[in-house]
């Protein structure tokens, strides 16, 4: 009787502890003028409203973007983030100068969300119409170590150019670059972001910038060498004053998480966002509303899935690509 009483007390304590246990996720995003920040904020809001009573809460943090987010997850400063699928591939496998010899094995995938387009914008009075015209100009190439900088370098490489061909390769935050373009202090800028981002709308509407199209031969070189790139057409009138379609390349915005976030937490988040509240999720931003489909949510996944995400997608019959197979 005494043993049973003690066991009952211990079981009650365990259940009480389990019920009060909490998981708090800080979700890394990007610049406040991009798409990552509103998407991360929207995800956090849906989590808090629907899983907060179960001890799962989240917030969004504006950050330096993909590469920063990956490193911050590895250091435990973030528990989840949005990042380009090319950057997470390089990070997980220890590739490129940013991650060479320093693979980040602590990241896991949850889902790919929407394509991110490479936007190449030229200032209104820059006289730039081709990649070759960038030579001798001041060009924003992305924040140091960011996914934008990595993509810009590869475009230059495919075109037989380097940053040394520029008068100045300008680094910094995208919002600062927009202002520099508007003020005529830079001639052009590269930015990888989802369609209809606030930054690109500002650039085309206020700064009167216009698009520089990627030549098809350059696109072919990039997509052949880097399988995570795809050819994308930015439809006419996506932005004010953009009357023609624009050929470019794209990557996938990916929702990632630390490997040590509990499986049941990630499963609940995946089920909430991509099934139970998917309509609410898609209303967060036009990029999600236009492109996200749960059935395609693993397309372009370049790192192993978190077991919680894998469990969800298996349950609904979505096949897991080779690169996304979970690992221990």
State the pLDDT at residue 11: 44
Report the chain's C-alpha Rg in angstroms.
22
Band (pLDDT 50/70/90 cuts) for residue 16 is very low
Q: Give φ, ψ of 171 to 5 degrees.
A: -110, 165
Q: Which domains does the chain have, with CATH numbers?
A: 21-114+253-324 (3.40.190.10), 117-251 (3.40.190.10)
Examine the pLDDT at 95 and tell me if it is beyond 70.
yes
State the pLDDT at residue 38: 96
The C-alpha atoms of residue 115 and residue 265 are separated, in whole angstroms, by 26
Q: Where is average pLDDT lowest: 115-124, 141-150, 253-262? A: 141-150
Examine the pLDDT at 117 and tell me if it is beyond 60.
yes
Examine the pLDDT at 12 and tell me if it is beyond 90.
no
Q: How many residues in total does the chain contain?
A: 328
The C-alpha atoms of residue 67 and residue 77 are separated, in whole angstroms, by 13
- Could you give the C-alpha distances from 164 to 212, 241, 306, in angstroms and in order? 20, 32, 41
**Residue recorded with tokens 């001798």:** 136
Across the range 225-239, mean pLDDT stands at 87
Query: Which tokens go with 183?
Result: 């003020």
Task: Kindly tell me the burial class for residue 74, based on how many C-beta atoms sit within 10 Å of its own C-beta (0-12, 13-18, 19 or more).
Answer: middle
Residues 6+ apart with CB under 8 A from 318: 294, 295, 297, 298
- Could you give the C-alpha distances from 23 to 49, 56, 74, 155, 191, in angstroms and in order? 14, 5, 17, 41, 34
The C-alpha atoms of residue 37 and residue 9 are separated, in whole angstroms, by 46
State the pLDDT at residue 147: 79
Pairing of strands 23-28, 80-84: parallel
Q: What is the mean pLDDT of the chain?
A: 91
More confident residue, 70 or 194: 70
Q: Give φ, ψ of 217 to 5 degrees.
A: -70, -35
**Residue recorded with tokens 């406040």:** 32
Tell which residue, 29, 103, 61, has the closest CA to residue 254: 29
The C-alpha atoms of residue 93 and residue 103 are separated, in whole angstroms, by 5
Across the range 262-289, mean pLDDT stands at 97
State the pLDDT at residue 328: 78
Examine the pLDDT at 83 and tell me if it is beyond 90.
yes
pLDDT tens digits, residue range 168-178? 999 998 889 99
3-state helix, strand, coil in the chain (%, to 5): 45, 20, 35
The C-alpha atoms of residue 30 and residue 232 are separated, in whole angstroms, by 22
Helix (H, G, I), strand (E, B) or coil at 132: helix
pLDDT tens digits, residue range 282-305? 999 999 998 999 999 999 899 999
Contact 66, 78 (CB under 8 A): no
Kindly write down the DSSP assignment for every residue of 31-62, as one continuous string: -TTSSHHHHHHHHHHHHHHHHGGGTEEEEEE-
């Amino acid at each position: 009787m005494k043993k049973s009483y003690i066991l009952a007390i211990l079981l009650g304590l365990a259940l009480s502890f389990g019920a009060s246990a909490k998981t708090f996720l800080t979700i890394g995003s990007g610049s406040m003028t991009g798409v990552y920040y509103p998407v991360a904020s929207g995800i956090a809001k849906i989590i808090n409203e629907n899983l907060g009573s179960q001890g799962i809460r989240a917030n969004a943090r504006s950050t330096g973007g993909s590469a920063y987010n990956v490193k911050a997850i590895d250091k435990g400063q973030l528990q989840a983030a949005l990042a380009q699928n090319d950057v997470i591939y390089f990070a997980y496998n220890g590739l490129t100068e940013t991650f060479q010899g320093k693979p980040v094995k602590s990241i896991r995938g949850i889902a790919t969300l929407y394509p991110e387009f490479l936007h190449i914008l030229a200032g209104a009075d820059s006289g730039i119409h081709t990649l070759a015209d960038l030579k001798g100009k001041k060009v924003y190439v992305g924040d140091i170590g960011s996914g934008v900088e990595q993509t810009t370098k590869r475009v230059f490489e495919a075109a037989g150019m380097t940053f040394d061909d520029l008068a100045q390769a300008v680094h910094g935050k995208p919002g600062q670059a927009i202002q520099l373009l508007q003020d005529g202090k830079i001639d052009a800028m590269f930015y990888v972001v989802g369609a209809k981002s606030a930054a690109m709308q500002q650039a085309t509407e206020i700064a009167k910038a216009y698009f520089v199209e990627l030549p098809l031969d350059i696109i072919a070189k990039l997509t052949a060498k880097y399988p995570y790139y795809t050819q994308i057409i930015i439809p006419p009138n996506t932005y004010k004053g953009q009357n023609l379609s624009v050929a470019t390349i794209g990557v996938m915005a990916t929702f990632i998480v630390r490997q040590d976030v509990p499986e049941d937490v990630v499963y609940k988040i995946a089920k909430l966002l991509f099934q139970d509240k998917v309509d609410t999720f898609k209303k967060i931003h036009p990029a999600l509303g236009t492109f996200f489909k749960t059935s395609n949510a693993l397309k372009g996944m370049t790192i192993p899935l978190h077991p919680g995400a894998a469990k969800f997608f298996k349950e609904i019959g979505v096949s897991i690509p080779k690169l996304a197979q979970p690992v221990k």
